[in-house]
Amino acid sequence: MDQGQAIWIKDPLGIFADGAARGVVVRNGRIVELVQAGGRPATTGAVAFDASQHVVLPGLINTHHHFYQTLTRALPAAMDRELFPWLQALYPVWAQLTPEALQLGVSVAMAELLLSGCTTTTDHHYVFPAGLEDAVDIEVAVAKRLGMRVLLTRGSMNRSQRDGGLPPDTVVQDEDTILADSERVVAKYHQRGEDAMVQIALAPCSPFSVTTSLMRATAALADRLDVRLHTHLAETEDENKFCERTHGCRPLDYLEQCGWLNARTWLAHGIFFDAAEMERLGKAGTTISHCACSNQILASGCCPVCDMEEAGVGVGLGVDGSASNDASNLMQEVRAAFLLQRARYGVAKVSHKDALRWATKGSAACVGRPELGEIALGKAADLALFKLDELRFSGHGDPLAALVLCGAHRADRVMVAGKWVVSDGAIEGLDVADLMRRHSAAARAMQVG
């Protein structure tokens, strides 16, 4: 597709934008015009794409994931466990990750995300057994092949069982190795500016798998390199107890002591913050990735999203790892978040539009990309188009509401930076059947290894 050629996404069945009833015009990877009801594009020479059967959303943005975990979905040894015993059951399996297995796991995760209408994704890769030192490089290659925007985090763990942590010795690295590779991948891959397709953030895993020294050193490095920071925090009561026992304070106090409580940071989960802590998060500009499915499957609790937003905290959505979701479908995550928060706060406080906003503009704030997540002039031309032609949608009224309430799960078209990367529900050039065959074989080998 010629990037200079303007495209009019014409007459959508529904669109998550104001003043764009007749669609939008995109050119050179940007939204250059909103076409109001009764109007026509002022842009000359725009090629029309008939969107009369499509509901158009800003591309969804996934703010928390662990791609490699697609290799351990519904693993019997880890089922029906809370977080800490769940991790202890899975670490020995993850220790067997190979470069080939990771490449397959990443490919499955990104493909599933794209097909669900996700145009930008993060990943939190923190498992580095011997031989997998180039994990981030593998992820970058897959992202470039599929045409997806990514914010990949160089995760880390250096507090193993011998140091009082949870992970086994075989999956952790020492601090010097972690910091050196963090600097390497930022220098090699991190792109800046509004057109960036690949960015890197730094992401020590959690308070119970990382030393205070590494937390502080990573914050300093992120500040020097001007990249974002990410970690799990306030996910379970067990984590709170661990921090109080080990560090003599609650997780947010520990985070602040390590130099992390700032606008550079976004946190996964954020379930167990009290009202005063939410106020501190809001003032600091620190944002939260709400992972509704994972939190329900592990019975971790429920992120108080409305209370967070009232305290000024930005909230996005994340599918989390496929071993605790167990899917990588962000459109399904939108529905799960809507249902969970509606049950918590009631019909007057949570609508389907709130859930869509969390997955778009809210998630864009988490990844520090204000040019994403919104259909508006000058924003990136990242769009997800859904048809309502399945039995589940028959008889629908409001098209936008139908996406959430009726359970949309697969996009028909997806555009990233003005280019179609999904057409007619398929990713161009990707043999899904072959990918599934090889991925399943790699998963079985790990699980019985």
Task: CATH number of the domain at 279, please.
Answer: 3.20.20.140
Residue 45: per-residue pLDDT: 92
Number of structural domains found in the chain: 2
Residues 388 and 315 in one domain: no
Is residue 416 domain-resident? Answer: yes
Q: How far apart are CA 256 and CA 248, in angstroms?
A: 13
Residue 167: per-residue pLDDT: 87
Is residue 101 domain-resident? Answer: yes
Mean pLDDT of 431-443: 98
pTM over 0.85: yes
Residue 66: per-residue pLDDT: 98
> Is it the case that residue 449 has pLDDT exceeding 90?
no
Lowest mean pLDDT among 23-27, 199-203, 260-264, 320-324: 320-324
Q: How far apart are CA 303 and CA 344, in angstroms?
A: 10
DSSP, res 94: H
pLDDT tens figures, 310-324: 999 999 999 999 999
Residues 116 and 220 in one domain: yes
Is residue 435 domain-resident? Answer: no
Percent of the chain with pLDDT over 90: 94
Residue 2: per-residue pLDDT: 64
User: Which one, of 131, 227, 215, 223, lies nearest residue 188 by Cα?
Assistant: 227
Element housing 60 (H / E): strand 60-62
> Is it the case that residue 328 has pLDDT exceeding 60?
yes
- Would you call 389 exposed, middle or buried from its count of C-beta atoms within 10 A (0-12, 13-18, 19+)? exposed
Residues 157 and 270 in one domain: yes
User: Which one, of 76, 85, 79, lies nearest residue 238 by Cα?
Assistant: 85
Residues 76 and 185 in one domain: yes
Mean pLDDT of 284-313: 97
Whether the upstream peptide bond of residue 181 has omega within 30° of 0, thus cis, is: no
Residues 178 and 256 in one domain: yes
Longest dimension (CA), the chain: 69
How far, rounded to the nearest angstrom, does the alpha carbon of residue 434 sit from its chain's CA centroid? 25
Is residue 261 domain-resident? Answer: yes
Residue 1: per-residue pLDDT: 54
Residues 194 and 176 in one domain: yes
Is residue 75 domain-resident? Answer: yes
Is residue 94 domain-resident? Answer: yes
Residues 35 and 107 in one domain: no
Residue 207: per-residue pLDDT: 86
Lowest mean pLDDT among 69-73, 165-169, 272-276, 392-396: 165-169
Domain boundary among 341, 366, 391: 366
**Which tokens sit at 222?**
């992120």
Residues 153 and 261 in one domain: yes
Residues 117 and 245 in one domain: yes
Mean of per-residue pLDDT scores for the chain: 96
8 A C-beta contact, residue 31 and residue 379: yes
Residues 350 and 319 in one domain: yes
Residues 27 and 169 in one domain: no
pLDDT tens figures, 184-241: 999 999 999 999 999 999 999 998 899 999 999 999 999 999 999 999 999 999 888 9
Is residue 89 domain-resident? Answer: yes
Residues 15 and 110 in one domain: no
Please report, for the domain that includes residue 400, its CATH number.
2.30.40.10
Mean pLDDT of 367-371: 98
Which residues span the domain enclosing 288? 60-366
Is residue 442 domain-resident? Answer: no
